[in-house]
Chain A
Amino acid sequence: MAAPLTLLLIVAVTIRAVLFRSSLAELIPERVEVVSPLNAWKRVVEGLALLDLGVSPYAGDVFHETPLIIYFFHFVIDYAEIVFMMADALTAVALYLAVKDYNKTVFRKQKYALEAERYPLDCLELIRTPKEMYYIPLKVAMFYLLNPFTILSCVAKSTCGLNNAVIALFILCTVKGSSLMSAIFLALATYQSIYPLTLFAPALLYLLQRLYIPVNWQRSSFWLFTTQYTFMYLGSLCVMVCLSFFLLSSWDFLSSVYGFILSVPDLTPNIGLFWYFFAEMFEHFRLFFICVFQINVFFYTIPLSIKLKEHPIFLIFMQIAIISIFKSYPTVGDIALYMAFLPAWNHLYRFLRNIFLVSVVLLACSALFPVLWHLWIYAGSANSNFYYAITLLFNVAQILLVSDYFYAYLRREHHLTHGLYLKRKDGSEATLVLK
């Protein structure tokens, strides 16, 4: 399996290298769909210039990345293109290994369940075979590396690629069961963009599951491990924040990075839901709705963790998707990360209800973004409503996609316990409804 992966990496790197050298390399970083005020390369360069002049990089309200990123690029600025390509490759390899390991676990569990005859007899067609699972890791890597969204994001040198790499490493460490590394990478991801905080719950659930500790409030082992993991997480987060403070010897970055993410002062259009809403809003409602919008991102953690506590990896997928839909400055790079997981849920295909509609809408919207942007900004004949309408449609399609997968996952699990051919009490055929 290493050979196809190597080939894939070579192809992916070649595409990126060619694009870096083409005339598109100047056009793509200007696209609002690809870069946000948080992760635009132009802003990183500006921050570096300020740093070199001995000024705080956060002076001037242009740069909003974290101090570690700017010190990282301080050393590798000359190799930026290679760094971004490597970040993508790293993400893909990490996802590849993680999904491979996860599939092994899934298959082992399925084997035990089959041996214990826990599945109803008519469910045999739902059982996953090694043959169909064999190529899934490769497909995951392919979905990430060859996704046009990832390629655009990489060519734009959006630091989103680095965040994705951190999250992918976090997933890998979690799946491998190394709680310390998992906590460190989770802390790093949180440090980068706050929102991955919600991945704490699935990671904890997965590690608990791996150690065969039941989620039980009365068990001391549960509390022991939870405390341990929380300490590792908070400790490393604390170390990173303090390190940032010592690097810059000021707390400026807290308000410039996290304040910027949470209070959404920059209303440049993007593919998210915030900009139009807050541009239109009366000032005195702003704080209230900011709270509502931001709580919205974190809120799903609780119900989803309860519902999916047996399936933490799927929960991670759901959380990443929710973050990338509802975060304050989303870019296509964020979407690419959760889309990479779609091949891992290949077996849910038969239960998906509107995948055709959703993929057509996503496709059409991706094509319409630049067209409507052109009409609005350059031709002046359309206006922001046109663009926002497409943004809205794009997000609705994403939400439909995610909820469709959620429904399909739950439904498959339901069938695995209750049998494939459900009957109502009176013997007629039943259908399942997601409530």
Chain B
Amino acid sequence: YYPPLRPVRSRWLALASYSVMCYLAGVAWFMGLAFEPFTLRTYMSENAMGSTMVEERFPAGERALATGREFAAHKKKVGGMPVDWLVKTMQSRGLEVFTQSFTRKLPFPDENKERYMVRGTNVYGILRAPRAPRTEALVLSAPCSEGNNNNQAVGLLLGLAQYFRSQIHWAKDIIFLVNEHDLIGMQAWLEGYHHTNTTGGDWSPLQGRGGSIQAALSLELSSDVITSLDLVLEGLNGQLPNLDLANLFYAFCQKIGVLCTIQGKLQRNDWDTTSGYSHAAQTMMLMVLKQASGRPWGDHGLFLRYHIEAASIRGINSFRQYKTDTTTIGRLLEGMYRKLNNLLERLHQSYFFYLMPSLSRFVSIGYYMPAFGLLAVILLLRALDLWVQLGASPPGTEDGVAGGVQVSYGPSSPGVLSILTPVVISHMTGVALYTLPILSQEMAVQHFPVSETEAVVLTAIAIYTAGLALPHNTHRLLQGEGTEEGWRVLKLVALLYLAVLLGCTALINFSLGFILALSLVPIAAFITPHTPKALSAAIMVLLSPGCTLLYCVFVFQELQETPVSLQDGWMLFLSVISQGILDHALYGSLVYPLLALLIYPCWLLLWNILFWK
């Protein structure tokens, strides 16, 4: 009735071929997602934004630029945010103006943006809705950046404020926000607005509020004319705004005739050629990499946490002939806000889980999840196989009656201790990786000639590498010999752990889950103590989460068409690590704790299996 188990060798081969097939199928599926016939064309799902036609009449682009120049002059004079001038200007445009000051001490100096003790002020003006009970609001924000950046954005923001003030159809409050120190200011403002404090910053409470915020756009413009507008969607922890927001942007770009890009890539029509396909694939992979990083890629990124649909619009000025002036951008924004103003409920009709191979095409969760599923199924197959092996291995229990699967008192028999010890030690290493870099920076700076930032990053790398010595230490703690059954149980635990972990990660942030699965699934599937040690160890190290991050840095640069040398790539890798730690400390990004506390220990378990004695 139950067929006898196949000989070990042929079963191993069958399983290996299934695993390889699943893996290749998963990768192929993923790559296929960028192929245009397999994707869907975007369409507006929200009725309130669909049928109503809006006439855009914003006229004052030139005046906005003049305001921008005035702002730049004041910024230069004050040497930071010209708070008084902004308050005065906003007030003169008929807004209710409030300011919020904030201070923030970073856990260690941020060398990319050269800041440590951050002190700043947000200025925002509220245009009260004349037509409705002011229970809802929209936000338009522009960052006040260092140097000469984004002056035009602030100018346009003020110009739009003045223009919107004269219109009567606003049913939602419109909040015009100029935030200093980009995301830190945005974080302070959002936490102040919602009365929360998740990351322990220090800011003054907001004096004025609008209704509950329905949608937000963040504007970044650094030149008087632009060639194209880039839409940035990726927010904190890989969260994306509702697809309808992207649709809205795309629809207006089409209507007004502005070139629009996503990931800085224009859309092409030649999907049936190789270069057309590779262009779409590159765009999608850029999105995947950005999403996987879990960091907010624009000032909009923190809104998403509060259930507010938000995106950044970035003006790009390149060497193209065709230019768009500020008036046109103003009209585009006017149109978008008019449509958002028509919303009767929060944007929810369209997708929240999607990838975009171009601005007019998307892949929804139902299409991309199978790619991950095919990888995850390998882990489950392996686990099942191990379970069957564990049941069949003790001799003398060949028994047709009890059913095909027989287990001799299961996982407890090889000694809970021999399994528990590696699990506990791996996790303690993970905890060390998570806590020590920041805690020990002072000590490191005293003893080594490095800056604080370098100290943090290098400590992290040192602990990461020190974890490789772990199997040795684990065995010292264990008295007995590790049994054949012992590593199987450990591997079963590691496989299931990894499967659950990756599954949960992929649900929250598909890209991160998929990238981790790509690198971890092969080693999880094939690692045993009997594989050739040196070769397997080399492969394991090359596919470890840290190295995956390194490859991602290179691939990202390659895809952005700014390839870097090995040296620069390494420096970039170091700065990515410090940024990841900072993102966690400042905004509560979860990628660093996920990698340090869960993924890395899981990888260490597999490493332990390789060196099982």
Interface residues of A (CB under 8 A from B): 346, 349-351, 353, 356, 360, 363-364, 367-368, 371-372, 374-375, 378-382, 415, 420-422, 429, 431
* Cross-chain pairs A/B with CB under 8 angstroms, 30 sampled: A350-B402, A350-B403, A351-B403, A353-B403, A353-B405, A360-B380, A360-B496, A363-B496, A363-B500, A364-B499, A364-B503, A368-B503, A368-B504, A368-B507, A374-B508, A375-B507, A375-B508, A378-B307, A379-B239, A379-B305, A379-B352, A380-B348, A380-B352, A381-B239, A381-B240, A420-B401, A421-B401, A429-B1, A429-B400, A429-B401
Measured as residues with beta carbon below 8 angstroms from the partner, the interface class of chain B is: 20 to 34
Q: For residue A349, which residues in chain B have a CB less than 8 angstroms away from its CB?
A: 407, 409-410
Per-position 1/0 for B394-412, Cβ under 8 A of A = 0000011111011101100
Known contacts A363-B500, A378-B305; 6 additional CB pairs below 8 A are A364-B500, A367-B500, A379-B307, A380-B352, A415-B401, A421-B401
Q: For residue A374, which residues in chain B have a CB less than 8 angstroms away from its CB?
A: 508
Q: For residue A367, which residues in chain B have a CB less than 8 angstroms away from its CB?
A: 500-501, 503-504
Q: Which chain B residue has the least Cβ–Cβ distance from A359?
A: B496
A371 and B409: CB pair below 8 A?
no
- 8 tightest CB-CB pairs across the interface, nearest first? A381-B352, A380-B307, A350-B402, A371-B504, A367-B500, A356-B387, A364-B500, A367-B504
Does chain A have a CB within 8 A of B383?
A: yes
A360 CA to B493 CA, complexed, in Å: 10
A372 CA to B353 CA, complexed, in Å: 13
A380 CA to B347 CA, complexed, in Å: 10
A432 CA to B305 CA, complexed, in Å: 55
A368 CA to B305 CA, complexed, in Å: 20
A415 CA to B304 CA, complexed, in Å: 61
Does chain A have a CB within 8 A of B462?
A: no
Does chain A have a CB within 8 A of B384?
A: yes
A420 CA to B401 CA, complexed, in Å: 7
Per-position 1/0 for B498-528, Cβ under 8 A of A = 0111011001100000000000000000000
Q: Which chain B residue has the least Cβ–Cβ distance from A122?
A: B401
Interface residues of B (CB under 8 A from A): 1, 239-240, 304-305, 307, 346, 348, 352-353, 380, 383-384, 387, 399-403, 405-407, 409-410, 496, 499-501, 503-504, 507-508
B72 to A: closest C-beta gap in Å: 38
A349 CA to B402 CA, complexed, in Å: 10
Q: For residue B352, which residues in chain A have a CB less than 8 angstroms away from its CB?
A: 379-382
B409 and A346: CB pair below 8 A?
yes
B612 to A: closest C-beta gap in Å: 22
A148 to B: closest C-beta gap in Å: 14
A22 CA to B305 CA, complexed, in Å: 25
A387 to B: closest C-beta gap in Å: 12
B507 and A371: CB pair below 8 A?
yes
A349 to B: closest C-beta gap in Å: 7
B513 to A: closest C-beta gap in Å: 11
* Contact partner, A371, options B240, B399, B400, B508, Cβ 8 Å: B508
A380 CA to B215 CA, complexed, in Å: 13
Q: For residue B402, which residues in chain A have a CB less than 8 angstroms away from its CB?
A: 350-351
Q: Which chain A residue has the least Cβ–Cβ distance from B353?
A: A381
Q: For residue A431, which residues in chain B have a CB less than 8 angstroms away from its CB?
A: 1
Q: For residue A368, which residues in chain B have a CB less than 8 angstroms away from its CB?
A: 503-504, 507
Q: Which chain A residue has the least Cβ–Cβ distance from B507?
A: A371
B130 to A: closest C-beta gap in Å: 29
Chain A CB count within 10 A is highest, among B307, B380, B501, for: B307
Given A367-B504, A372-B507, A375-B508, check contact A422 B401 (CB 8 Å). Answer: yes
Q: Which chain A residue has the least Cβ–Cβ distance from B348?
A: A380
A378 CA to B499 CA, complexed, in Å: 24
A350 CA to B384 CA, complexed, in Å: 17
Q: For residue B1, which residues in chain A have a CB less than 8 angstroms away from its CB?
A: 429, 431
B546 to A: closest C-beta gap in Å: 24
Q: Which chain B residue has the least Cβ–Cβ distance from A366?
A: B500
A429 CA to B501 CA, complexed, in Å: 43
Q: Which chain B residue has the least Cβ–Cβ distance from A372?
A: B507
A368 CA to B504 CA, complexed, in Å: 6
Chain B CB count within 10 A is highest, among A374, A380, A431, for: A380
Q: Which chain B residue has the least Cβ–Cβ distance from A432?
A: B401
Q: Which chain A residue has the least Cβ–Cβ distance from B501?
A: A367
Q: For residue B401, which residues in chain A have a CB less than 8 angstroms away from its CB?
A: 415, 420-422, 429
Q: Which chain A residue has the least Cβ–Cβ distance from B380?
A: A360
A120 to B: closest C-beta gap in Å: 12
Q: For residue B409, which residues in chain A have a CB less than 8 angstroms away from its CB?
A: 346, 349
Q: For residue A351, which residues in chain B have a CB less than 8 angstroms away from its CB?
A: 402-403
* Contact partner, A350, options B304, B383, B400, B406, Cβ 8 Å: B406
Q: For residue A415, which residues in chain B have a CB less than 8 angstroms away from its CB?
A: 401
B527 to A: closest C-beta gap in Å: 20
B368 to A: closest C-beta gap in Å: 14
Q: Which chain A residue has the least Cβ–Cβ distance from B407?
A: A349
Q: For residue A346, which residues in chain B have a CB less than 8 angstroms away from its CB?
A: 409
Q: For residue A350, which residues in chain B have a CB less than 8 angstroms away from its CB?
A: 399, 402-403, 406-407
A88 CA to B165 CA, complexed, in Å: 64
A205 CA to B446 CA, complexed, in Å: 75
A375 CA to B506 CA, complexed, in Å: 12
Q: For residue A380, which residues in chain B have a CB less than 8 angstroms away from its CB?
A: 307, 346, 348, 352
A368 CA to B502 CA, complexed, in Å: 11
A382 CA to B507 CA, complexed, in Å: 10
A379 CA to B306 CA, complexed, in Å: 7
Q: For residue A381, which residues in chain B have a CB less than 8 angstroms away from its CB?
A: 239-240, 352-353
Q: For residue A360, which residues in chain B have a CB less than 8 angstroms away from its CB?
A: 380, 383, 496
A4 to B: closest C-beta gap in Å: 13
Q: Which chain A residue has the least Cβ–Cβ distance from B346?
A: A380
Q: For residue B346, which residues in chain A have a CB less than 8 angstroms away from its CB?
A: 380
A396 to B: closest C-beta gap in Å: 18
Q: For residue A363, which residues in chain B have a CB less than 8 angstroms away from its CB?
A: 496, 500
Q: For residue B504, which residues in chain A have a CB less than 8 angstroms away from its CB?
A: 367-368, 371
Chain B CB count within 10 A is highest, among A350, A353, A429, for: A350
A356 and B384: CB pair below 8 A?
yes
A306 CA to B45 CA, complexed, in Å: 57
B266 to A: closest C-beta gap in Å: 28
A364 CA to B403 CA, complexed, in Å: 26
B111 to A: closest C-beta gap in Å: 30
Q: For residue A364, which residues in chain B have a CB less than 8 angstroms away from its CB?
A: 499-500, 503
Q: For residue B305, which residues in chain A have a CB less than 8 angstroms away from its CB?
A: 378-379
B309 to A: closest C-beta gap in Å: 9
B246 to A: closest C-beta gap in Å: 14
Q: For residue A379, which residues in chain B have a CB less than 8 angstroms away from its CB?
A: 239, 304-305, 307, 352, 508
A415 CA to B384 CA, complexed, in Å: 28
Q: Which chain B residue has the least Cβ–Cβ distance from A356?
A: B387
B215 to A: closest C-beta gap in Å: 13
Chain A CB count within 10 A is highest, among B384, B500, B501, for: B500
Q: For residue A420, which residues in chain B have a CB less than 8 angstroms away from its CB?
A: 401
A6 CA to B223 CA, complexed, in Å: 73
B197 to A: closest C-beta gap in Å: 14
A378 CA to B384 CA, complexed, in Å: 35
A350 CA to B305 CA, complexed, in Å: 49
A364 CA to B307 CA, complexed, in Å: 27
A310 CA to B329 CA, complexed, in Å: 82
A349 CA to B406 CA, complexed, in Å: 8
A397 CA to B239 CA, complexed, in Å: 31
A15 to B: closest C-beta gap in Å: 14
Chain B CB count within 10 A is highest, among A379, A422, A431, for: A379
A356 CA to B403 CA, complexed, in Å: 14
A23 to B: closest C-beta gap in Å: 12
A421 CA to B400 CA, complexed, in Å: 9
Q: For residue A372, which residues in chain B have a CB less than 8 angstroms away from its CB?
A: 507
Q: For residue B508, which residues in chain A have a CB less than 8 angstroms away from its CB?
A: 371, 374-375, 379
B322 to A: closest C-beta gap in Å: 36
Q: For residue A382, which residues in chain B have a CB less than 8 angstroms away from its CB?
A: 352
Q: For residue B410, which residues in chain A have a CB less than 8 angstroms away from its CB?
A: 349
Q: For residue B307, which residues in chain A have a CB less than 8 angstroms away from its CB?
A: 378-380
Q: Which chain B residue has the least Cβ–Cβ distance from A422?
A: B401
Q: For residue A422, which residues in chain B have a CB less than 8 angstroms away from its CB?
A: 401
